[in-house]
Structure 1
Amino acid sequence: MRTALYPGTFDPVTLGHTDIIRRAAALVDKLVIGIAINRDKGPLFTLEERVAMIEAECAVLSEQTGTVIVAHPFENLLIDCAHDVGAQIIVRGLRAVADFEYEFQMVGMNRALDDSVETVFLMADARRQAIASKLVKEICRLGGDVSKFVPPKVNEALKARIAQG
């Protein structure tokens, strides 16, 4: 069984993320969405909320692709998380050249830790390249419409959270 791990903070999950998830699911038998706890980033949504959002979006994608897609929170090294879930592949999405610089360093470090886990890059769809969770949150905070960037239920949750202050 080919298992891949697609890690991220997913705060919140965007249409860019779901595009990568859909395309990665076509390549493997099982796709684990690793949801980083990463307390340093100070996420807008709790871990439980982010897991619930991923699970809701991935249920549909799993049904469409026939691939098992599961959410897995993690707070350890990415390579250790890959071992924990039995992943032979780490999936990373690239939006721009700036992403590549960072990802290139990460691949080097992960390969030094364990060269049996391969990293695969998927380029973001041209219509989704500008989408970043950080920008989506900022646009929403400033009253902008983010419905073109996030799934409908995530849009509702984002607007509600921003309204709470």
Structure 2
Amino acid sequence: MAIIQMLLKEMDQEAQTTRKMLNRIPDDKYQWQPHVKSMTIAQLSNHIAELPTWITLVLNTTELDFATAPYKPTHVANTAELMELLEKSLADGRASLEKATDADLEPTWTLRNGNEIYSVSTKGEMIRTTFSQIVHHRAQLGVFLRLLNIPIPGSYGPSADDMSF
């Protein structure tokens, strides 16, 4: 199986879990945060929903420099808007990945903030890092939801909320 095909399969599998998690957010909890240093649910869920667009970003550029291209998140006010953003992001990332070849994954890609280099990796590695970021932030959201006593959906099998003890 080509690397692109493996990435597309992984993207589709993780998208299913991401949809389930984001769908659990109650509209009245978007400004909630567990700690002053934590993101709000709106900030965190928005980041999760936008991350698939990084696939397109990575495939079409050589770097992202936050000093020259500061992050401006799309505003979402409720779960319906969040899910719409996620689906748009997934379609964007998937379309770019479907057009790519394995050779397109080989060039170097840099993440920086001015002179501070966060990472230098191949485009393929950065796409995998993007998938890992989605999983990482989705897990953070799971903790947020757990603290609000909102049932957590299973990710790679049933969650404690899915099990009947």
- Would the TM-score normalized by the shorter structure come out above 0.5? no
- TM-score bucket (shorter structure): under 0.3
> What TM-score results when the alignment is normalised by the length of structure 2?
0.27
Larger Rg: 2
What TM-score do the two structures reach when normalised by structure 1? Answer: 0.27
